[in-house]
Amino acid sequence: MSWENTNVLITGGLGFIGSTLAHDLAELDASVTLLDAKLEDYGANPANVDTIRDNVTIVEADLRDVKDVAPYVTQSDVVFHLAAQLSRTVSNENPATDAEINCQGFLNVLSVAKSATDSPRIVFTSSQAVVGRPASLPFDETTQAAPLDVYGANKRAGELYCNLYYESHGVPTVAVRLTNVYGPRAQLSNPNYGVINNFIAAALRDETLTVFEPGTMKRDFVYVRDITRGLRCLGFEQRAVGERYTLGTGDATTIYDLAEAIVDTAGSGSVKLVPWPDDWESIQVGDLRSDPSKMCDHFDWEPETDLTEGLVETIDYYRDNLEAYL
């Protein structure tokens, strides 16, 4: 795969996955533009791109203003659409904002791509939230949509937008359902984003990692570098156009085991089981585990970093950079 001189736009480029992908692509000599609205609490962190600042272009713009983003979409060969409202809790408390960012914002990207003389490829990151509480596991890209939260419903809308802009307007779109992604560069302290990073923050501060009883709920935790390697396939390979994929490890770990592994790796912190808060129960979805076979079949993609190794790399990163993430 040669990315040399390819014009790449990453929306949400200062965030966790977007900035990690930017590191990959800058190293591969792509011409990388990072677009980010820097919304408070949404995960944008300039520290994420400190070491590649001279190799990328950073633009502060909000996808909700189509005219602000149009020139950047138009001049791209590939757009990785990572910008999103990411919290299920926030999506239920403020559903209109979720729709504004995750529906309107993405539609703005697609409509500009449609109007471009040479439409850029659009890689859309969907979520396991689309499948809700599936009848059987593992789930994959064909599993019926049955979201239990507004976030999941709007991510499903995004998948449908991908289909129709490809089918009806010829925009080369790709959608991919992600499981629970962890790794360096995620924000640590916002309780609405990712149990794993909250746990790491607690462990590094030698605090208690609070696991809701009985802690046996399983999730498919996937390391961010495996995700960005998968995204690069989807941005590059011709076969991906018009398709939908699933990116996860295919394995699952209980929340309790995850917390213990983090405490062990960090060498600090402790794990405590506590009762579920009443108001959280309604959005719990039981176990989740993905089947990423289609990625493997089409592109020989496989997860390469197991949880033990991924936690070591993640905790090492935050130990060295903790100030920037709290």
- C-alpha distances out from residue 51 to 2, 19, 29, 46, 48, Å: 22, 11, 15, 10, 8
Q: For residues 234 and 243, what is the distance between their CA atoms, to the nearest angstrom?
A: 9
Tell me the closest approach of the beta carbon of residue 120 to a copy of itself, in angstroms.
17
For tokens 């307007």, what's the residue? 169
**One character per residue 275-304, x = contact with a copy of itself (rule: CB under 8 A):** -------xx---------------------
Of the residues 74, 75, 111, 210, which one makes contact with a copy of itself according to CB under 8 A: 111
Q: What is the smallest separation between the CB atom of 276 and a copy of itself, expressed in angstroms?
A: 15
Which is closer to a copy of itself, CB of 75 or CB of 111? 111
Q: Could you say whether residue 107 binds a copy of itself (CB under 8 A)?
A: yes
At 309, the amino acid letter reads: E
Answer for which of 41, 68, 77, 100 binds a copy of itself (CB under 8 A) is 100
State the SS3 of 195-236: HHHHHHHHHHCCCEEEEECCCCCEECEEEHHHHHHHHHHHHH
With binding defined as CB under 8 A, does residue 96 bind a copy of itself?
Answer: yes
Whichever of 166 and 256 has its CB closer to a copy of itself, that residue is 166
- 120: contact with a copy of itself by CB under 8 A: no
57 interacts with a copy of itself by CB under 8 A = no
Tell me the closest approach of the beta carbon of residue 68 to a copy of itself, in angstroms.
13
Among 28, 39, 99, 324, binds a copy of itself (CB under 8 A): 99
Give the CA radius of gyration of the chain. Answer: 19
Give the three-class secondary structure for 283: helix
Q: Which is nearer to a copy of itself, 106 or 221 (CB)?
A: 106
HSE-up of residue 202 (Cα within 13 Å, Cβ side): 23
- CA angle 279–207–200, rounded 5-degree value: 80
Residues touching a copy of itself, count (CB under 8 A)? 35
- Site for a copy of itself, residues 124 to 183, rule: CB under 8 A: 132, 145-150, 152-154, 156-157, 160-161, 163-164, 167-169
Q: Closest CB to a copy of itself among 270 and 280?
A: 280
Is the Cβ of residue 91 or residue 246 nearer to a copy of itself in the bound state?
A: 91
Please report whether residue 104 would count as binding a copy of itself according to CB under 8 A. Answer: yes
- Residue 118 within binding range of a copy of itself, rule CB under 8 A: no
**Closer residue to a copy of itself (CB): 6 or 126:** 126
For 33-89, the DSSP string reads EEEE---TTS---GGGGGGGGGGEEEEE--TTSHHHHHHHHHT-SEEEE------HH
Q: How far is CA 150 from CA 87, 98, 129, 249, in A?
A: 10, 7, 9, 25
- Judged by phi (left if over 0) then psi (alpha if -120 to 50, else beta), residue 90 lies in alpha
Q: Which residue ranges make up the site for a copy of itself (CB under 8 A)?
A: 64, 66, 92, 95-96, 98-100, 103-104, 107-108, 110-111, 132, 145-150, 152-154, 156-157, 160-161, 163-164, 167-169, 282-283
